[in-house]
Amino acid sequence: MSLRNLRNEAILLIDKLLQERKIDGINYTLVEPPSNAFGELTSNIAFQLAQRFNSNPYLVAKDLVDSLLIQLSNQRSRESLLNTIDAHPSGHINFRADWNVYPKAIIGEILDDSYGKFDFGKGKSVIIEHTSVNPNKALHVGHLRNMIIGDVLFRILSAVNYDTSVFYYVDDSGLQVADIVVGFMNAGFPIDPPDPATKFDQYCGNEVYVKINDLYIKNPDLQQKRKSVLKSIEKGNSDLSRFAKDISLRVLRDQLKTCWSLKVRYDLLNFESDIVASKMWEKMFELLKNKGRAAYETEGKNKGCWVIRGSDGDDDKVLIRSDGTLTYVAKDMPYAAWKLGLFSDPFLYRVFSEQWDTSILWAATLDTTVGSHAKRQFGGAEIVINLIDSRQSRLQTIISSTLSAVVKFEKERYMHLSYEPVTLSSRTAKSLGIDIGNTSAHMSGRKGIYVGADQIMEILYKKAKEEIRSRHPIMTDSELSGISESLGRAAVRYNMIKQDLERPIVFDLEESLSLDGDSGPYLQYAFARSQRLLEKGELTHRTNSLANLLHEKESNLIRELSKMDLIIEQCSSQLNPKLMARYAHKLAVAFNLYYEKVPILKETSESLVSARLLLVKAFNIVMRLALNYLGIDPLNRM
RNA sequence: GGGUCCGUAGCGUAGUCAGGAUAUCGCAGCGGUCUUCGGAACCGCAGAUCGAGGGAUCGAAGCCCUCCGGAUCCGCCA
């Protein structure tokens, strides 16, 4: 808050001055300067004015600063954090805090019990749908990116007081599931994995799914089976459809184990079969027909299908196939309408499972005979965020624009949060026995080109374990494995979140093993250091010595600490989880520099020791928050 | 062909929306800190015509235009 307060103070002065001079329409910035030597905040307002009045930026800046300083001295209150304002020869106007009171203001508010409660979301409801892996295979590293972005977003939006629900969409009625069913029913795969230690999701994905796709090529009869299986799955209410549902659920349970092991959680599972059976599509279909959006083709390549007409040059999009089954688009539109609360809720909710954080994972169902239904309603959120990779952008646009053409809602409420997918580096692909030359390869479950999420986590845990053992020869096994899992999780989570969503991640096994540098464990290390200091030192709450924190490394750390509330506001309003990762890293760097250069417990002056410990405590509090938002465990030792 | 996105040191990456002060951080490389609160750290060196060209501007990595290179989508798969 303190940086925000300082900023507001400056804005107040500037706006008042502009008002007095009857200048409007100036869109100035007031931001962190490139170097601390320029103070806490800097503004480009002199450039803007110089442009408008065709004069020299520096002269404008000097003139402005003179007036601002007079105002400041007239208005300075006891709470005032602003010390001085100066005009830099370059034309920038720099604002400096009063460092007699600034450290105490910042650290004091962090140490206060009310710190860390943000309200930018103001109870607005938001649905985040992520992961949603087809229930016929285990998760691979590509899915990790989706899941972790989604989870960090959930943590941040919840922290700023959005009313969040996390959805996992289970496509249990698609072709992929039919493939597995054909594998079991018609191609002779045993239902249980030959090796009982194999996870069922991995067995289905690595064995059955990959091999059945080969068999289709050799055996056209199987293709026919596949079609008829899909049809009866979609029709429902048969032994075959129940068998398919059982298989999906069994895979899903194993997928969830992977998600939970990374400390990702969900609120609700939605099954496509239930969405189809809910008759919401029939309602949507009527709307589409009434508004002239759906058309029946009597000739051409889509003969016998219902389609949406493509707009400006795009091809038509099939809604209902010639065999009467629904495509993804057709299934997704009524579902979207339900999420937005545009359709009444056809579902009941049953307890599916308890999760690692003791929260309940619910499942939507149409079955009225199952007990323990939820009182709460899902669906009908003010904002719906669908986390899907960028390759689906076009399709998502078709869905949302068609939907908005037939039912009325504000388009911004339904968004596709897009990110670039994860590919495999050629080196890693080669290590899997796939030669793709010097480029990177897209992962494909069907072709068997992927690195499994469970496998990569195992390798990381093992690597972390070795590291820890070399540092702490004496440690109990349970502590050792607990910490190594925390480290592995931190490494993966940080890696998946730290760069821009619009940049693809080329996954390389070797590189992902690094626990140094700009990494999750680096953040944990800084936190653990602060934790050790607080354990050894004696924390007093004598805040009056805080004004002595004038070492350069101290003021830098204090500056970083003051930014949290502006950062989390930006993260949540822009749906940009990367910013939190960047901030956490900057914070850790500032602390490590402080730790290296300034003696804390070794300091001889008692009042300085307590002031420095308070600063360490403040860092500890802010860093713990940041780590929690990122889903990284704050470790006491590592 | 059309749509979307990306080109920043050997590699990866921040900054681009809201133009302004020495272009961020990491990996790899070289050298150092090691009787010092935990070396998963810290310090130093070296490494970038910000894809190319043009334009508007006092000022461009950022804005506009053209081009080049790459990714991806344009299924009765989801």
Q: How far is the CA of A464 from the C1' of B22 (A)?
A: 39
pLDDT band, very low/low/confident/very high, at A371 (cuts 50, 70, 90):
low
* DSSP assignment of A91-134: S-EEEEE-TTTHHHHHHHHHHSTTTT---SSTT-EEEEE-----
Please name the residue whose C-alpha is nearest to the C1' of nucleotide B76. Answer: A321
Measured in angstroms, what separates residue A580's CA from nucleotide B75's C1'?
39
CA of A594 to C1' of B29 (A): 28
User: Which residues are CB-neighbours of A558 under 8 A, at least 6 positions away?
Assistant: A102, A103, A106, A107, A549, A615
Q: CA of A441 vs C1' of B70, distance in Å?
A: 14
Task: Report the pLDDT value the prediction gives residue A315, as an integer from 0 to 100.
Answer: 84
Please give the pLDDT value at position A545: 79
- pLDDT at position A483 over 70: yes
Calculate the angstrom distance between C1' of B17 and CA of A389.
Answer: 21
Q: Is pLDDT at A604 greater than 90 in this prediction?
A: no
Is the pLDDT at A495 greater than 90? The verdict is: yes
ipTM: 0.96
Which residue minimizes Cα–C1' distance to B5?
Answer: A502
Evaluate if residue A530 carries a pLDDT over 80: yes
Cβ(A30)–Cβ(A44) below 8 Å: no
Protein CA at A567 to nucleotide C1' at B12, angstroms: 25
Q: Report d(CA A593, CA A571) in Å as an integer.
A: 26
A43 closest-nt by C1' vs CA: B20
The pLDDT mean for chain A works out to 92
CA of A424 to C1' of B10 (A): 20
pLDDT, mean of residues A79-104: 93
The pLDDT score that the predictor gives to residue A580 is 98
Specify the long-range contacts of residues A42-51, CB closer than 8 Å, at least 24 apart: A42/A92, A42/A93, A42/A94, A42/A95, A43/A10, A43/A14, A43/A92, A43/A93, A43/A94, A43/A95, A44/A92, A45/A14, A45/A93, A46/A87, A46/A91, A46/A92, A46/A93, A47/A91, A49/A23, A50/A91
pLDDT (0 to 100) of residue A370: 67
Q: Is the pLDDT of residue A23 over 70?
A: yes
- For residues A151 and A264, what is the distance between their CA atoms, to the nearest angstrom? 6
Among all strands, which nt has the closest C1' to A529 (CA)? Answer: B38
Task: Classify burial at A182, counting beta carbons within 10 Å of its beta carbon; exposed 0-12, middle 13-18, buried 19 or more.
Answer: buried
For strand B, the positions having any atom within 7 A of a protein Cβ are 2-6, 12-15, 18-22, 25-28, 36-38, 40-43, 57-59, 70-78
Closest residue to B59 (CA to C1') is A47
Nucleotide nearest to A464 (CA to C1'): B40
How far, in Å, is the CA of A422 from the C1' of nucleotide B48? 27
DSSP states along A483-499: HHHHHHHHHHHHHHHSS
Q: b/e map of A488-525 (b: 16 or more CB within 10 Å)? A: bbbbbbbbbbbeebeebbbbbbeebeebeeebbbbbbb
Quickly tell me which residue has 């490394």 as its tokens. Answer: A553
pLDDT for residue A375? 66
Nucleotide nearest A312, CA–C1', reads: B2
Q: Closest residue to B38 by CA to C1' distance?
A: A529
Mean pLDDT of A121-145: 96
Across A256-279, average pLDDT = 96
CA of A218 to C1' of B53 (A): 54
**Can you tell me which residue has its alpha carbon closest to the C1' of nucleotide B7?**
A503
As a whole-number percent, the residues of chain A with pLDDT over 90 amount to: 75
Top pLDDT among A466 and A629 is at A629
Query: For chain A, how long is the longest CA-to-CA vector?
Result: 90
- Report residue A93 as tokens: 């106007």
For the entire predicted model, the pTM comes to 0.96
Other residues' Cβ atoms within 10 Å of the Cβ of residue A53: 10
Instruction: Quickly state the pLDDT bin for A230 (edges 50, 70, 90).
Output: confident
User: How confident is the model at residue A266, as a pLDDT?
Assistant: 98
At A427, the pLDDT band (50, 70, 90 cuts) reads confident
Predicted local confidence at residue A228, as pLDDT: 87
pLDDT for A374: 64
User: What pLDDT is recorded for position A313?
Assistant: 65
pLDDT-wise least confident of A76-90, A434-448, A585-599: A434-448
Mean pLDDT for the stretch of residues A272-287? 94
Which protein residue's Cα is closest to nucleotide B41 at C1'? A592
Question: Contact at 8 Å (CB) between A329 and A367?
Answer: no
Tokens of A547: 């004004």
Contacts of A427 (CB under 8 A, 6+ apart): A508, A509, A510
Helix spans in A262-303 (H): 272-277, 280-290
Gap from A414 CA to B40 C1', Å:
42
Cα R_g (chain A), whole angstroms: 29
Higher-pLDDT residue of A98 and A538 is: A98
- Distance in angstroms: CA A140, C1' B50: 34
Q: Which nucleotide is nearest to A332 (CA to C1')?
A: B78
Q: Which of A269, A267, A278 is nearest to A249 (CA)?
A: A269
Give strand letter and number of the nucleotide nearest A439 (CA to C1'). B70
The pLDDT tens digits for A155-206 are 999 999 999 999 999 999 888 999 999 999 988 899 999 999 999 999 999 9
Q: For residues A419 and A148, is the Cβ–Cβ distance under 8 A?
A: no
Q: Residue A224: pLDDT band by 50, 70, 90 thresholds?
A: confident
**How high is the pLDDT of residue A54?**
83
- Nearest residue to B2 via alpha carbon and C1': A313
Within 13 A of A443's CA, how many CA atoms are on the CB side?
Answer: 27
